[in-house]
Amino acid sequence: MFKEEHKAYLDQKHDVMKINIFIDGEELTPSTGNYSERRDPGDEDRVIGLVADGSKDVGAAVDAARRAFDRDAGGWVSDYRLRARVLYKAAELLRQNLDFFAETESLFVGKTIRTSRSSDVPRAAEILEFYAGLADKILGTSQILRTGDLVAVVKQPVGVVAAITPWNFPLVIMCRQVAPALAAGCTVVTKPASLTPASAFEFAKILTKAGAPKGVFNVVTGSGETVGSSLVKSDKVDAVNFTGETSTGRWIMEQAAGSLKRVILELGGKNPNIVFEDADLERAATAVTYGAYANNGESCAAGSRLLVHSNVKQKFIEMVVERVRRMRVGYQLDEKTDLGPLVSRKQLESVLEYVGAAASEGLNIVYGGNRLTESFYARGNYMQPTVIVDTPRESKLFQEEIFGPVLTVTEFRDEDEAVELANATLYGLAAGVWSNDVGKAVRVAEKIKAGAVWVNTYYTLPVEMPWGGFKQSGLGRNNTVHAIEHYLEHKGIYVDNQQGPMRPYYRLVLG
Residue type, 30: P
| Helix, strand or coil, per DSSP, at residue 175 | helix
Active site includes 186? no
d(CA 316, CA 318): 5
Residue 167 near ligand NDP by CB under 6 A: yes
3-class DSSP state of 456: coil
Which of 129, 300, 401, 411 is flagged as catalytic?
300
Q: How many CB atoms lie within 10 A of CB 352?
A: 18
Shortest reach from residue 349's CB to ligand NDP, in Å: 14
Identify the sign of the CA torsion 15, 21, 24, 28: negative
CA dist 503 to 149, 205, 495, Å?
A: 12, 57, 14
Q: Is position 193 an interface residue for ligand NDP (rule: CB under 6 A)?
A: yes
Q: How far is the CB of 198 from ligand NDP (least distance, A)?
A: 13
Looking at the Cβ atoms of 268 and 272, the one nearer to ligand NDP is 268
Tell me how far apart the alpha carbons of residues 375 and 173 are, in angstroms, rounded to a whole number: 35
Q: Which of 106, 168, 199, 332 binds ligand NDP (CB under 6 A)?
A: 168
Question: Could you give the CA distance from residue 266 to residue 245 in angstroms, rounded to a whole number?
Answer: 8
Taking alpha carbons only, the member of 347, 459, 22 closest to residue 208 is: 22
Find the binding residues for ligand NDP in span 272-331 (CB under 6 A): 300
Q: Please give the Cα distance from 425 to 391 (Å, whole number).
A: 13
User: What DSSP string runs through 11-30?
Assistant: HS--PPEEE-EEETTEEE--
Residue 266 interacting with ligand NDP (CB under 6 A)? yes
- In angstroms, the CA 373 to CA 423 distance is 37
Size of the site for ligand NDP (CB under 6 A): 32
| Nearer CB in complex with ligand NDP: 206/232 | 232
The piece of 17-25, 123-131, 145-153, 261-269 that touches ligand NDP (CB under 6 A) is 261-269
Shortest CB 193 distance to ligand NDP, Å: 4
What's the min distance (Å) between Cβ of 496 and ligand NDP?
46
Residues in 170-189 at the binding interface with ligand NDP, rule: CB under 6 A: 173
Minimal distance in Å, beta carbon 375 to ligand NDP? 29
Residue 219 contacts residue 196 (beta carbons within 8 Å) = no
Which one of 105, 129, 266, 298 is the catalytic residue?
A: 266
Identify which of 181, 194, 231, 203 has the alpha carbon closest to the alpha carbon of residue 59. 231
Q: Exactly one of 25, 54, 213, 269 binds ligand NDP (CB under 6 A); which one?
A: 269
Does residue 406 belong to the site contacting ligand NDP (CB under 6 A)?
no
Q: How far is the CB of 240 from ligand NDP (least distance, A)?
A: 9
Q: How far is the CB of 229 from ligand NDP (least distance, A)?
A: 4
The string of DSSP letters for 37-103 reads EEEETTEEEEEEEEEE--TT-HHHHHHHHHHHHHTTGGGTTT-HHHHHHHHHHHHHHHHHTHHHHHH
Alpha-carbon distances, residue 292 vs 29, 272, 366, 471, 473 (angstroms): 40, 10, 15, 22, 18
Binding test (CB under 6 A) with ligand NDP, winner from 201, 403, 458, 487: 403
Distances (CA, A) of 382 to 288, 343, 345, 370, 385: 21, 9, 9, 9, 9
Each residue 127-166 as x (binds ligand NDP by CB under 6 A) or -, in order, gives: -------------------------------------xxx
191 binds ligand NDP (CB under 6 A): yes
Is 420 catalytic? The answer is no
Q: Does 451 bind ligand NDP (CB under 6 A)?
A: no
Q: How far is the CB of 122 from ligand NDP (least distance, A)?
A: 18
In angstroms, the Cα distances linking 170 to 178, 282, 349, 447 are: 12, 32, 22, 32
Residue 213 binds ligand NDP (CB under 6 A): no
When binding is defined by CB under 6 A, the residue of 474, 476, 479, 488 that contacts ligand NDP is: 474
Q: Which CB, 119 or 194, lies closer to ligand NDP?
A: 194
Binding mask 215-254 for ligand NDP (x = CB under 6 A): --------xxx--xx--x----------xxx--x--xx--
CA distances in angstroms from 392 to 350, 353, 412, 416, 418, listed in the order given: 21, 18, 11, 17, 13
Residues with catalytic function: 266, 300
Residues that bind ligand NDP (CB under 6 A): 164-169, 173, 191, 193-194, 223-225, 228-229, 232, 243-245, 248, 251-252, 266-269, 300, 401, 403, 429, 467, 474
